[in-house]
Structure 1
Amino acid sequence: MSYTSKTISETIIDYVNRNTFLPAIQREYVWNTYSIEKLFDSIMCGYPISSFLFWKIREEKKKDWVAYQFVTDFDKTDPHNEEANLSGVNQDIYLVLDGQQRLTSLLIGLKGSYSFFYYRWRKTRLYLNLFKKPTNGDNPEELTYQFQFRENDFINANDSTPQYWYLVSNILDFNTASAARKDIREKLSNISVDSSFKENAVELIEELHSRLFTEKFINIYEEKSQEYDKVVEIFIRTNTGGVKLEYSDILLSTATAKWKNLNARKEIYSFTDEINSIGNGYSFGKDFVLKGCLYLTDHLPIQYKVGNFTQSNLELIEENWTNIQTSISDSVKLINKFGFNDKNLVAKLVLLPIALYLKKVNKSNYVNSTNAEDIKNQLRIQKWVAIALLKNMFGSSTDNTLKSIQDIILNQTNSENFPCSEINQKLNVISSFSKDEIDNILRYSYGTKYSYLILSLFYPNRDWKDCRFSEDHIFPKSEFTEAKLRKRGYNSDKIKLYQTYYNTILNLQLLDETENKEKSAKPFNEWIKTRDDNFKKRHSIPIIASYDFDSFIEFINGRKKLLSNFLENLTI
């Protein structure tokens, strides 16, 4: 790995904001005045200030990416970087991947200002006290030189500790150290102060000039790859300090830079919060929404990579943003209506095909439709989601799966029905379950991430609208403690058998809130007498002679046959 070394003055005067800019993936400037003062102190001490990583963009490629100016006059009320105008830059350009904070600090200290509020708004510039002799204390955090952001210069020669605050940017007026020395000597000639302070001032001016104009503190590694995703990976790895930079942050920065009329960061954060507040709450991330932007915009690649968030692609996404929001939001509302929550929605990408379908159907208020065909189709979607999650349809090669489904939906001539069968056929997914799968499914326990999905399949004709259904133990779980089972006179083998099944799918049903509250921990043989004639059919309850507690295993065996038969013959 080879580095190019440059002086600070050369970098600041000839490169920064001339042919060297910031990429859209960079975050904003965050250093305070003390951090800048400390950087200049390190430079005066001759300490290295680490290396810099520049990304070289060939001239013919520079229009592909948005570049931003470095901040010269920093204002805490408006910290945003302005977009750079590259039309007049007829050469290769550089985008800084690592070193933004340091280069901006150098620029502010040497050519700019720093505005902040402290009791009142202050516009300050960087000064160096030339009468302060360098001191090396025991505290490594204590500065050796006295740099300070001030509102004006100040000279005090009458005190025991005189001060001469020199505006650091003035040093750039002198091409040679001798010219800088001559200038300061002339300025000090009329000041009555001990000669040691004057000599100290001359020495500091010479030292400052040497550090900025002669010594090569800027060590640049040049990345020449034109592959944006490779560059982003480098950027992420070199920016791991503080809060970890997420891949979605990079994409958001890119989108924010390239959307013309909307603030992508604000829009996507706000929309993510909106869908997460539906029902009892979800945990969708920015990456899910950004993936949806690609998936729900016509003719765009769906791979979640920075290279797909180009200027033209992002313009299409911005134009389609309202439709994207509506489609994703409706898909979340639909699955929420069926009781799918954040825990059992084990692969959130399953919603993107639903969102795409809803976008294509384009029916207003579809989620709350009372049309019989719409309701039938929604139940078909509900069943497909449950099966897709149970079959781990989105477990691997997710992009290939999503692309296959996207092709089917977009090419569908009749969009009255969600194309469950076509999707399953394309992906070689069978809607029914094998005996091994069924054995595994029926062993799932109460309250696990798959239990609600499994139970929801057993209610194919249920009206889910405006109802909340809870998992309920048919035979109350409170009766299955070892103490209570022994009190009934059961031996160890029978206790083990009862405890094997009581908390599984075989002893679970879905009840609405009213029913669940009414049932509470009532013995099942009493509760079932209060139910209507269709209760057993609705909840797949086997017909046996007695439903008392001693008949639990007979109940389990009978229900296993019913549920197994249902899953073996399940169709969409």
Structure 2
Amino acid sequence: MRASLLRSARLLATFGLSERTLTADSVVIPLAYYLHSHGHDDAYIISSAHSKDRVAVRSWVFRSLLKRGVWGSGLDTLLNRICIVVRQSPPNDGFPAGDIEAAMAARGKSLQFGPEEIEELLDLQYSKARTFAVLALLYPGLNLSQDVHEDHIFPRSRFRRSALTRMGIPAEKIEDYLVRANGLPNLQLLAGTPNVEKSDAWPWEWLDGPHFPTAQTREEYATRNDLDLLPSEPVGFLDFYEGRRLRMRERLLSVLGESAASTDVLGE
């Protein structure tokens, strides 16, 4: 069991979850019990034979971390029920995410997200408890086992009142820039070294820099991370922010379940 607990911690690390980004330690227990009861060894973490199963585990973990109140009250009862489901699941059927979620919902811990919850996630700010999990869920292409940082796409250091005025930003728009600088649509995950290299460069300067050796890699990265909306000057920031927020909303509706996607959020 000790080995399975350590193994589950290493598995979470491949998802980018550490003592800093894992907002609920209790999620380790069901994972450790699953690995232990189904006889998975260290190969589970890296083997291509288990890649589909790891995707199911990852989805369940992140959604449980994003949903408020899951790992709060009634924790002992919830963990006991999840472990019963895991123990009763066929050993060759993989991680029983559907059965676990049904058992959780029966205990008032549904992982379905309503429209208000989607909007709340979109309003998350830089370095808040669930911000990393949202970005990791929306943009899974990065190797999260590396040292990963939350990066401001438009550098926060550039958004000072005096600097914005010199750029020609209208006075009535400056507060909008300042308020949105730390907002989720202005954030991305970057490995430590690229983040240091990016520093306070404008995003279009960084995309044209040496970090992307070819036009194809640059375009693929921009498309994968919804940066194809980037303007070529600071005055386009607000339009970029709102456009990427809409893209993020579409992605959240897709990955968090049909119950959210089927609802007309805020009447749009």
Which of these residues, 127, 133, 155, is aligned with residue 453 of structure 1?
Answer: 133
Q: What does residue 160 of structure 2 align with?
A: 481
Partner of residue 31 from structure 2, selected from 354, 377, 383: 354
Q: For 1:408 and 1:473, locate their aligned partners in 2 and report how far apart those are by CA, in whole Å.
A: 41
Post-superposition offset of 1:494 = 0.7
Partners of 1:470 and 1:512 within 8 A in 2 = yes
Picking from 223, 229, 253, the partner of 1:543 is 229
Hey, what does 2:60 align to over in structure 1?
Answer: 384
When residues 431 and 493 of structure 1 are mapped into structure 2, their CA distance, relative to the original with a 3 A threshold, is farther
- Supply the AA of the counterpart residue of 1:388: S
Show the counterpart of 1:426: 103
Give 1:360's aligned amino acid: S
Task: Pick the aligned partner of 2:240 from 544, 551, 555.
Answer: 555
Q: Deviations over 1:86-108 (max 9, x none)?
A: xxxxxxxxxxxxxxxxxxxxxxx
- Looking at structure 2, the residues matched to 451 and 542 of structure 1 have their Cα atoms a distance apart, in angstroms, of 22
Cα shift at 1:462: 4.4
Alignment of structure 1 residues 306-321 onto 2, 5 Å: none
Does the C-alpha gap of structure 1 residues 416 and 537 become closer, same or farther in structure 2, counting only changes over 3 Å? farther
TM-score of the superposed pair, with normalisation by structure 2? 0.83
Report SS of the residue matched to 1:510.
strand
Give per-residue Cα distances to partners, 1:233-275, cap 9 Å, x unaligned: xxxxxxxxxxxxxxxxxxxxxxxxxxxxxxxxxxxxxxxxxxx
Question: Which amino acid letter does the alignment assign opposite residue 499 of structure 1?
Answer: L
Structure 1 runs, 4 residues or longer, greater than 4 Å off: 429-432
CA–CA distance in structure 2, aligned partners of residues 452 and 470 of structure 1: 9
- Contact kept in structure 2, 1:433 and 1:567, CA below 8 Å: no
1:440 is matched with 120
Contact 2:82 2:100 in 1 (8 A): yes
- Does the CA-based 8 Å contact 1:332-1:351 persist in structure 2? yes
Amino acid aligned to 1:558: G
Structure whose alpha-carbon radius of gyration is higher: 1
C-alpha distance in 1, partners of 2:190/2:254?
24
Mean Cα deviation higher: 335-344 or 445-454: 335-344
**Residue 169 of structure 2 is aligned with which of 486, 490, 500?**
490
* Aligned mates of 1:444, 1:490 — CA distance in 2: 25
Q: Is 2:199 the counterpart of 1:520?
A: yes
Larger fraction in helix: 2
Following superposition, the deviation at residue 420 of structure 1 comes to 1.8
Aligned counterpart, 1:510? 189
Amino acid at match of 1:552: F
Inter-partner Cα distance in structure 2 for 1:488 and 1:383: 42
Deviations 1:386-424 (A, max 9, x none): 211111311111112112211110010144422222212
* 2:255 partner SS: coil
Q: Map 1:162-177; keep pairs closer than 5 Å.
A: none
Compared with structure 1, are the counterparts of its residues 525 and 460 closer, same or farther at alpha carbon in structure 2 (3 Å cutoff)? closer
User: What does 1:111-510 align with in structure 2 at a 5 Å threshold?
Assistant: 324-366=1-43, 368-369=45-46, 371-391=47-67, 392-428=69-105, 431=111, 433-465=113-145, 467-510=146-189
Looking at structure 2, the residues matched to 458 and 373 of structure 1 have their Cα atoms a distance apart, in angstroms, of 24
Q: Taking structure 1 as reference, are residues 567 and 400 closer, same or farther at Cα in structure 2, changes over 3 Å only?
A: same
Tell me by how many angstroms 1:463 deviates: 4.1
Partners of 2:155 and 2:202 within 8 A in 1? yes
Could you tell me which amino acid in structure 1 is paired with residue 36 of structure 2? K
Q: Give the whole-Å Cα distance in 1 for the aligned partners of 2:163 and 2:77.
A: 53
Long gaps (5+) in structure 2: 258-268
What is the distance in 2 between the residues matched to 1:477 and 1:515? Answer: 17
Provide Cα deviations, 1:84-141, integer angstroms capped at 9, x if missing partner: xxxxxxxxxxxxxxxxxxxxxxxxxxxxxxxxxxxxxxxxxxxxxxxxxxxxxxxxxx
- SS of the equivalent of 2:208 reads helix
What does the per-residue CA deviation read over 1:497-548, in whole Å, with 9 as the maximum and x for residues that have no partner?
111211111111111123212212111122223442211232132536x342
TM superposition score normalised by structure 1: 0.41
C-alpha distance after superposition, 1:355-390 (max 9, x if no partner): 001102223213542x22323322332222221111
Deviation string for 1:293-332 (max 9, x for gaps)? xxxxxxxxxxxxxxxxxxxxxxxxxxxxxxx211111111
C-alpha separation between the residues in 2 aligned to 1:511 and 1:479?
A: 19
Aligned-pair RMSD on alpha carbons?
2.1
Letter in 2 for 1:541: L
Q: Does residue 1:564 correspond to 2:241, yes or no? A: no
Q: Which residue of 2 aligns with 1:21?
A: none
The answer to whether the 8 Å contact 1:542/1:559 transfers is: no
What is aligned with 1:297? none
Counterpart amino acid of residue 568 in structure 1: L
Residues 532-541 or 500-509, more deviating: 532-541
Q: Which amino acid aligns with 1:436?
A: E
AA paired with 2:223? K
Q: Which letter maps to 2:224?
A: R
- Give the residue type in structure 2 aligned to 1:328: L
**Quick check: 516-525 or 455-464, which moved more?**
455-464
Distance 2:73 2:228 in 1: 38
Give unmatched runs, 5+ long, in structure 1: 1-323
Tell me: CA distance 1:416–1:493, structure 2 relative to 1, closer, same or farther (3 Å).
farther
One-letter amino acid of the structure 1 residue matched with residue 251 of structure 2: F
- Counterpart AA for 1:453: A
**Aligned equivalents of 1:456 and 1:343: distance in 2?**
14
Aligned length: 246
1-side partners of 2:13 and 2:196: how far apart? 22
2:43 and 2:226 map into 1 onto residues whose CA distance is: 31
Distance 2:149 2:98 in 1: 29
